[in-house]
Chains A and B, each alone.
Chain A
Amino acid sequence: MRYRKYPFIAGFLVIPVVLYVVFVIWPYLQTFGYSLTDWSGQSQEMHFVGLENYTKLFGDHVFLQALQHNVLLLVFLPVITILLALFFAFMLNVGGRGGTTGVRGVRGSAFYKVVFFFPQVLSVAILVVLFQAVYRSDGSGLLNGILIKLHLQDPSAPVEWLNSPNLVMWCLLGVQIWAGVGFYLVLFSAAMQSVPKDIYEAALLDGAGRLQTFFKVTLPLLWDSVQTAWVYLAIAAMDFFVLASVLTPGSSFGGGPDYHGEVMATYLMRNFLTFGKSGYACAMGVVILFLTLILSAIALRVSRRDRIEY
């Protein structure tokens, strides 16, 4: 009877595989094809130019600058988000002390959980509007308003957050962290709740403090979740299109001031749509794809640990 199993399984798989090939794999191959042409993006007329787009790309200082910004995000976004999320999750689940019920979170942890998760519920569009008001460059901006009220900033020279070459990437990073921590907090919370309470109680009885409990018990048991979060955040750091294109100055897809707010995706879109260099933009797309793939593979491999069974 065994042999009849395979046509049965294949029958179920045909449709999803075809859909996947047509809507995912084929566009990818097409993009690679277009990246070898001088396609303008608005008609089917194009010429084959070989690898010219790729060689141009690595001499393009704007692209390299954008790449640097993505690398900066790649370094800081996962570290800060995960550390914050871990800290909050720890405090909410096992950080509380002094009760008779043993291990539990700090007082009001259910309420905090909702508060922290809230940014995750907001759509990116709302997020952007919100932070436009926060970073507004005159005295009506939230940050500037506070600074001026506290007499830390001269009202005639407010901080132009997003128009400052040194601040703009950190401002974007701040938005993403603010919006992202809640999700990873919930993710880590779920993982912590599945850790048997007796392990914590044992640690408690042995006299472990909060720090020791965290590093010796919680973190090792959560490693799988941390690893997943790391990969996911690394991918997010390679993108950043929405925040950069809407919040940073510049007419088409932001990128300002003077390319200091540029990420690869915004530069790609400007070339694709505004400058009519779609072939060139496709080459960027291919490069971003491979960078992201390589990074994910590295992140998964480097962070590999033996799984602790419990």
Chain B
Amino acid sequence: MRSDVNRRDLIKRAAAVGLLAAPAAGLLSACASSGSGNDKGTDKGEKSKENPFGVANDAPLDVVIFKGGYGDAYAIEFEKIYKKKFSGSKVSHLGTQEITGKLQPRFNAGNPPDVVDDSGAQQIKLDVLYKSGQLTDLTPLLDAPYIDDPSKKIRDVLQPGTIETGSFDDGKMYQLSYIYTVWGLWYSGKLFKEKGWTAPKTWADFMSLCEEIKKSGIAPFTHQGKYPYYINIVVMDLIAKHGGPDLVKRIDDMDATVWDDPAAKAAVEAVYQIADKGYLLPGTNGMTHIESQTAWNEGKAAFIPCGSWLENEQLKATPSDFEMTFLPIPSLDGDKLPFEAIRAGAGEPFIVPKKAKNQAGGLEFLRIMLTKEASSKFAQTANSLTVLKDGVGSDVQLRPGTASTVTALTAAGTNVFNYNYINTQSAFDTDVQNASAELMAKRIKPADWLKRVKAAAEKAKKGS
């Protein structure tokens, strides 16, 4: 029985290793932060009208792209344009979902890439990067000439809200949010035509239509319950439309008194009705975005809240005659904003790290992204609009969902709003999401929701 003893010892030793490895989740990352480089701007070229940032022709460019719902094929196209302009440069491209895993060590060691599309579930939070002084001020980009028409500056050709979204509390823009997204409800035009339903404009109509849909045997409403971000689109848009832009600003500023406002109460109570009257698809509170969106594509539910990436994300699951259609969140009685008002804004943040070796090249890459050529390429490969005004050539054919967002944007005109707290107050956002998930599961009442969110805002105000 000698070998038995050896085996036991071996397993004990294995246990000891496990002992050390168990809490290593956070500890491992810590060792990545030693050493700090501050060398930057090593590669400098001559500044000129065509080359406003002074990019050296032979400086390598290091691009990291979040390879999510939009893929990364568009970025490879942009890199080709860049290489045409700077023939001596070597462009390295990395498309990945693990932005944090790949880049956190590099940020800490002081050798980040030159351009990063910092997005996705594993993005490095921008408020964190900003507070750590890791971002380049993009003001020079805004003041640089627009490539398609050098008489204009970049800042004049961006969709409204782009600069605000990219700005932090010092008033400067540090991220270029490249994709112009609209948020709201979505339905199948085909299903509605078949059943003779009309898209509702008021919340009361919405509720009575839900009743009718329920009677026809289809669930009126589904949401991506595992990620309560999505139901917050309905909650927060109702608040914005009922209370007006002033309220949006106060929410972003973590003004806790907002949550005593009647607009907040009315909105949360309205959303609660969906759950309370049994309009939810059974099980939707526990479903992932893919599960619920696919159920919606299969006609099991009539409405779903989402941003305009929905069409691209569901390309394969959507039947060809589905007629995906966008609907602004229906109006409550006494709304300050009209029915057409929508949440729209720039998303998918592109940044140039402060310690990038080829900072000028990074800025120039962003400038190249803001051309008609690049913007059309993006609309073709990723089925989404960019923040460049009139950025899509007339020859580009849009899919029904994307086309319906263009119509909605035109109808909205200047009645466009957006929330910034999602980018700047991660902890508060998490608290609101938790509260909304509990609300939809009917485990708390609207009054509890307001109380919890108010407390979260107070905490965030103190903590920041």
Taken together as a complex, chains A and B put the C-alpha atoms of A161 and B283 apart, in Å, by 9
Q: Does A250 contact B (CB under 8 A)?
A: yes
A158 touches B100 (CB 8 A): no
- Indicate if B67 sits at the interface (CB-CB under 8 A): no
Is the pair B27, A259 in contact by a Cβ cutoff of 8 Å?
no
Q: Does A48 contact B (CB under 8 A)?
A: no
In whole angstroms, how far apart are the Cα atoms of A292 and B25 in the complex?
Answer: 14
Please name all residues of chain A whose beta carbon is closer than 8 Å to the beta carbon of B34 when the two chains form the complex.
Answer: 30
Chain B residues with Cβ under 8 A from A274's Cβ?
A: 125, 426, 430
Residues of chain A within 8 A of B133, CB atoms compared? 43, 45
C-alpha spacing A197/B282, complex, angstroms: 57
Residue picked from B107, B282, B441, most chain A C-beta under 10 Å: B282
Given the complex, which residues of B lie within 8 Å of A155, measured CB to CB? 282
Cβ-defined contact, B26 with A252, below 8 A: no
- A114 within 8 Å of B (CB atoms): no
A232 engages B8 (CB within 8 Å): no
A213 adjacent to chain B (CB < 8 Å): no
Q: Is the CB of B108 within 8 A of A285?
A: no
15 A-B interface contacts by CB (under 8 A): A23-B31, A44-B108, A137-B286, A139-B282, A157-B282, A163-B225, A224-B8, A228-B11, A231-B15, A235-B22, A239-B23, A251-B430, A273-B100, A282-B26, A282-B27
Judge whether B23 and A40 touch: CB under 8 Å: no
A256, CB-defined interface residue at 8 Å:
yes
- In Å, the complex CA distance between A235 and B21 comes to 9
Chain B residues numbered 90-127 whose CB sits less than 8 Å from any CB in chain A: 100, 104, 107-108, 110, 121-122, 124-125, 127
Interchain CA distance A161-B225 in the complex, whole Å: 13
| A138-B291, A231-B15, A249-B226 known; A42-B282 Cβ under 8 A | no
> Which of B8, B11, B107, B286 contacts A249 (CB under 8 A)?
B286
Q: Complex: how many Å from CA A265 to CA B438?
A: 23
Q: Are B30 and A34 in contact, with the CB atoms below 8 A? A: yes
- Chain B residues whose C-beta falls within 8 Å of the C-beta of A258 in the assembled complex: 434-435, 437-438, 443
Which of A162, A232, A288 has a CB less than 8 Å from the CB of B286?
A162
A residues in contact with B225, CB < 8 Å: 137, 160, 163, 249
Q: How far is the CB of B292 from chain A (nearest CB, A)?
A: 9
Chain B contact residues, majority secondary structure: helix
CA–CA, A250 to B291, complex, Å?
A: 15
Rounded to whole Å, the gap between the CB of B347 and the closest CB of chain A is 15
Of all A-B residue pairs in the complex, the 8 with the closest CB atoms, nearest first, are A137-B286, A138-B283, A276-B128, A43-B132, A163-B286, A160-B286, A27-B31, A137-B283
B129 CB-CB contact with A under 8 Å: yes
Q: Which of B415-436 contact A (CB under 8 A)?
A: 426-427, 430, 433-435
B29 close to A (CB within 8 Å): yes
Q: Is B39 an interface residue (CB 8 A)?
A: no
A144 and B107 contacting across the interface, CB-CB below 8 Å: no
Chain A positions within 8 Å of B131 at CB level: 40, 276
| Least CB distance, A248 to chain B, in whole angstroms | 9
The answer to the question of A31 belonging to the interface, with a C-beta cut-off of 8 Å to chain B, is: yes
Q: Which of B11, B100, B295 is A138 in contact with, Cβ under 8 Å?
A: B295
Of the residues B122, B278, B284, contact of A137 by C-beta under 8 Å: B284
Q: How far is the CA of A288 from the CA of B36 in the complex (A)?
A: 28
Whether a CB of chain B sits under 8 angstroms from the CB of A112 is no
| Known A-B contacts A190-B7, A265-B23, A270-B430; A158 and B134 likewise in contact (beta carbons under 8 Å) | no
User: Which residues does chain B contribute within 8 Å of A160, judged by CB atoms?
Assistant: 225, 283, 285-286, 441
Contacts of A292 in B (CB 8 A): 19, 22-23
A256 touches B437 (CB 8 A): yes
- Residues 120-149 of chain B: 1 if any A CB is under 8 Å from the residue's CB, otherwise 0? 011011011101111000000000000000
CA of A162 to CA of B11, assembled, Å: 34
Q: Verify B31–A251 contact, CB threshold 8 A.
A: no
Give, as a whole number of angstroms, the nearest-CB distance from A65 to chain B.
12
Distance A258 CA – B435 CA, assembled complex (angstroms): 7
Given contacts A41-B128, A44-B36, A310-B1, are A285 and B438 in contact (CB under 8 A)?
no
List A contacts of B350 (CB < 8 A).
none
B125 A276 Cβ-Cβ under 8 A: yes
A276, B25: Cβ atoms closer than 8 Å: no
Given contacts A158-B283, A239-B23, contact A257 B30 (CB under 8 A): no
- In angstroms, Cα B17 to Cα A24, docked, is 11
A116 within 8 A of B: no
Distance between Cα atoms of A45 and B128 in the complex (Å): 12
